Amino acid sequence: GAVVSQHPSRVICKSGTSVKIECRSLDFQATTMFWYRQFPKQSLMLMATSNEGSKATYEQGVEKDKFLINHASLTLSTLTVTSAHPEDSSFYICSARDKRLAGTRHLYEQYFGPGTRLTVT
């Protein structure tokens, strides 16, 4: 199967500190990785799209300097929330597209990680 992991699953940090969240595709190479945030009982909002070796494309309204995305390899992307504030508390979910599916009818499927719950106190 196609498994995506996220670490940590839960993190509590103090206001003003930075937090790094990792997203890994465990058994496949990811052409593209996506980062979403989800507020309680709400839908997923796309934050940014990243391709390995290139800069992330951020959605309108998402601060690039606050949410740093690094896509270091075909299996790892990181999201760093810099100078976190209580309003950044949310559920952050990453997803990835499997490079092996290119050219098939499944090429647009995204495999989601289990999510990271961030609480900023």
Partner 1 sequence: AQKITQTQPGMFVQEKEAVTLDCTYDTSDPSYGLFWYKQPSSGEMIFLIYQGSYDQQNATEGRYSLNFQKARKSANLVISASQLGDSAMYFCAILSGGYQKVTFGTGTKLQVIP
Question: Which residues bind to partner 1, rule: CB under 8 A?
Answer: 32, 34, 42-46, 49, 91, 93, 95, 105-106, 108-115, 117
For residue 104, give the amino acid letter.
T
If the CB atoms of residues 74 and 82 are measured against partner 1, the closer one turns out to be 74
Provide the sign of the torsion angle of the four alpha carbons 110, 20, 81, 13, taken in this order: positive
Least separation in angstroms between residue 45's CB and partner 1 is 8
Least separation in angstroms between residue 59's CB and partner 1 is 8
Least separation in angstroms between residue 57's CB and partner 1 is 8
Least separation in angstroms between residue 26's CB and partner 1 is 14
CA torsion 21-23-26-27 (nearest 10°) is: 180
Q: Where are the beta strands (DSSP E) in 8-115?
A: 10-13, 19-25, 30-38, 44-51, 57-58, 67-73, 76-81, 90-98, 111-112
Cβ distance 20 to 72 under 8 Å?
Answer: no
If the CB atoms of residues 103 and 108 are measured against partner 1, the closer one turns out to be 108
If the CB atoms of residues 29 and 91 are measured against partner 1, the closer one turns out to be 91
